[in-house]
Amino acid sequence: MPRAVVIGGGIGGLTSGIALRRKGWDVTVLERAPKMDPVGSGLAIAANALKALDTLGLGDPIRRLSRLQGQAGIRRSDGRWLVHTTMDVAEARYGDSVVVMLRARLMEVLADALGAGHLRLGITVSGVDAESGVVRTDEGDLQADLIVAADGINSKTRQALFPEHPGPTYSGVTAWRGLIPRGDLDIRSTESWGKGLVFGVSLLADDVVYVYATDVLPAGTVFEDEREELLRRFGDWHDPIPGLLRAADPAGIIRNDVCSYDTPLPAFHRGKVALVGDAAHAMTPNLGQGACQAIEDAVVLAHLAGNAGDHLAAYTAARLERTSKVVRQSMSICKVTKLRNPVAVWLRDLGISVAAKSRPDMMLRSMDDVLSWRPPAGENGGDRGSDPAALRSGRN
């Protein structure tokens, strides 16, 4: 049985492990954290990734974790819609709407599906030999036919294999995330844009509300009280935002500076190593596609890797162009949300609402290439074989 070693037990690593096991690989996923402890936040999984998860038998269990959102779109800070659609319309177009769930629950489902014996926690990989397939860890070396580097945005494997790549760049935006009990607040899932500011609200299962927010700030800005900072920026926005922030536990609010790979890697493989997820194509969260693309990567990699991991050029051919496009699309939305000049913001909002009136399906149409993706042939629903051009476009 061919042997795959996966570096990193995040969404990309776990899904790669599951997909490879289904193709008959003996899989070991190495995760440096001593226990699974994902950040306390929600996560949106869109139609493209749900279709990929269907091929692993996990689409429905993951749909069941989520709460369906009624409407989606963008509002002004006073609550008036700029553009919106309903999840029914999205479902009719792509066969699924976006589902939003606790990140921790998704990780539990993935870890269960992988199987406890295949996940080794508390093991740090210190290096790989891409030609021989040796993985060096703090507990000794492992020999692999295929090494999957799913070690995240600051991937040491990427740095070693592509030393000329500049790595992640700060987008200029910092992001807060938090989980807040619904209480008696009237919650409609929404994303609202102001001057350089974004605030998102999603109602999850068990009456938990996932909130996220962004602002344009210098990298590394430190605040004493993150909730106070949120209240200062969003305390006079439309309901339920002020009420949610007042109900939030300050200790439960996390913040990260958002980085992405502005320069695509020249390839997603070297020798016996394939990169997946943020290690290959970290992106800003504006499209909610970072984890979704990692899930697509995993399914395509397992489909193309061959019996001995000797077809990795086909994996690069299938994934590099598609993910680079998603990275760029996400970054262009990020840039639009960063506008702070009142005239530029007024023009942006006017442009969006006029375009939405003349093309009511504008919001979904702009996502067609991303969300219409379908998994490869023989993987529950695709008939595109292993042709890289068909896999790139993802269209059946």
Ligand X SMILES: Cc1cc2nc3c(=O)[nH]c(=O)nc-3n(C[C@H](O)[C@H](O)[C@H](O)COP(=O)(O)OP(=O)(O)OC[C@H]3O[C@@H](n4cnc5c(N)ncnc54)[C@H](O)[C@@H]3O)c2cc1C
| Site residues (vs ligand X, CB under 6 A) | 7-13, 30-33, 43-44, 124-125, 150-152, 156, 175, 177, 212, 256, 258, 277-279, 285, 288-292, 294
Output 39 or 347, the one with its CB closest to ligand X.
39
11-31 as b/e, with b when 16 or more CB fall inside 10 Å?
bbbbbbbbbbbbbebebbbbb
Cross-strand pairs, 137: 125, 140
C-beta of 357: minimal distance to ligand X in Å? 28
Looking at the Cβ atoms of 188 and 387, the one nearer to ligand X is 188
65 forms bridges with which residues in the sheet?
Answer: none
CB 296, min distance to ligand X, A: 10
Q: Are 396 and 380 in contact (CB under 8 A)?
A: no
Could you tell me the smallest distance in angstroms from the CB atom of residue 188 to ligand X?
18
| CB 350, min distance to ligand X, A | 28
The C-alpha atoms of residue 290 and residue 166 are separated, in whole angstroms, by 19
Identify the sign of the CA torsion 37, 102, 56, 365: negative
Cβ distance to ligand X smaller for residue 33 or 104: 33
Least separation in angstroms between residue 364's CB and ligand X is 17
148: β partners: 6, 274
CB of 279 or CB of 302, closer to ligand X? 279
No. of helices (H) and no. of strands (E), the chain = 15, 19
In the bound state with ligand X, the residue whose beta carbon lies nearer, of 39 and 344, is: 39
**For residues 126 and 341, which CB has a smaller minimum distance to ligand X in the complex?**
126
Nearer to ligand X, 35 or 342 (CB): 35
Nearer to ligand X, 43 or 187 (CB): 43
DSSP strands (E only) in the chain:
3-7, 26-31, 42-45, 67-68, 71-76, 81-86, 99-102, 119-121, 125-129, 134-137, 140-143, 146-149, 169-181, 190-193, 198-203, 208-216, 254-260, 269-270, 273-275
User: Residue 24: which region, alpha, beta or left (left: phi > 0; alpha: psi -120 to 50)?
Assistant: left
Report, in Å, the least distance between residue 67 CB and ligand X.
Answer: 14
Q: How far is the CB of 320 from ligand X (least distance, A)?
A: 16
Closer residue to ligand X, CB minimum distance, 18 or 390? 18
Q: What minimum distance in Å lies between the beta carbon of 346 and ligand X?
A: 27
Backbone angles phi, psi at 237, to 5 degrees: -80, 180
* Least distance in angstroms from the C-beta of 212 to ligand X: 6
Give one DSSP letter per residue of 64-114, joined into a string: HTSEE-SEEEEEETTS-EEEEEEHHHHHHHHSS--EEEEHHHHHHHHHHHH
Rg (CA), the chain: 21
